[in-house]
Structure 1
């Protein structure tokens, strides 16, 4: 297990989650979930905040969980969330380019966590 990589992914995820919870437009804009003026509708912001808090909580867990089974469990939850996001956003976001970018980002972050779970030497 690459603990440092998992902790880094966790910290980055936590910071991003907190930022999106405070400013949902950080996720809404690149996802195409804004109006013609680039504003995030209140209902969209409300829908994105639980996702943001999920990421913040899971990221904090990865950053502070004891090494071993607790850290592995937090990482597996992160992987499930990222790959689940890839499936959901890839199927539902408006516009092919937005869907492809969301899938790439989600799979990329999930892959970092997968890499963190791999043994130090193969």
Structure 2
């Protein structure tokens, strides 16, 4: 994790592992990025440079998501950001403790996660 450098371990099911395998390359290092949006040879040591690279990558992903939504005849707004909301909602509905979801989303407060995931405190 960038902000606190805390490690977060997530057990993945078969489908996400299959998707990740599509991006596997020979000779990768553990420090290499999984997805091709960021380059392992580029220096992202300053927050400004990393932010710019991520913003650029997010723009391209959002364009692709809009194309997918149009082809699937979905009449809802879709973006990379909406995937965070979907993940949070599904994770909580499948029984993942909200504390874990909050940590994965890097929220400082569980209250933010409750709002984000449209979940009321029980």
Higher relative contact order (CA 8 A, sep 6+): 1
TM-score under structure 1 normalisation? 0.33
- Greater helix percent: which structure? 1
